[in-house]
Amino acid sequence: MDSILIKDTTREERERIVAESIGNIYGACDGCATGLADMYQDYIDGKTEIREINMAFSARYVSGADGPVKSECGYVKG
């Protein structure tokens, strides 16, 4: 696969791209990987390119704007 753009991939390919990038999201219950998987759901659904999601995450991190809030075992959108 040469491109990870939505127009060049199927939903199944996007799911695999995210899963392979994050790793085993259910291996530990610290909530980190599960929150990452949720963060990329719009990419999997074909709504937002992965680079836009990454840029938005970086902008929130740098700006200090609120992001996902940690719960007991996972993240909820904040």
pTM: 0.62
> For residue 46, is it within any domain?
yes
What is the pLDDT, as a whole number, of residue 37? Answer: 73
> For residue 12, is it within any domain?
yes
> For residue 45, is it within any domain?
yes
What single letter denotes the amino acid at residue 11? R
> For residue 14, is it within any domain?
yes
Per-residue pLDDT averaged across 16-26, rounded?
Answer: 76
> For residue 76, is it within any domain?
no
Domain that holds residue 60: 6-65
Residue 20 has pLDDT above 60, yes or no: yes
> For residue 24, is it within any domain?
yes
> For residue 71, is it within any domain?
no
Q: Please give the residue that has the higher pLDDT: either 77 or 5.
A: 5
> For residue 23, is it within any domain?
yes
For the chain, the DSSP string reads ----SGGG--HHHHHHHHHHHH--TTSSSSSHHHHHHHHTHHHHTTSS-HHHHHHHHHHHHHHT----EEETTEEE--
- Number of folded domains in the chain? 1
Q: pLDDT tens digit string along 23-74?
A: 755 555 555 555 677 889 999 999 999 999 988 877 665 555 565 555 555 5
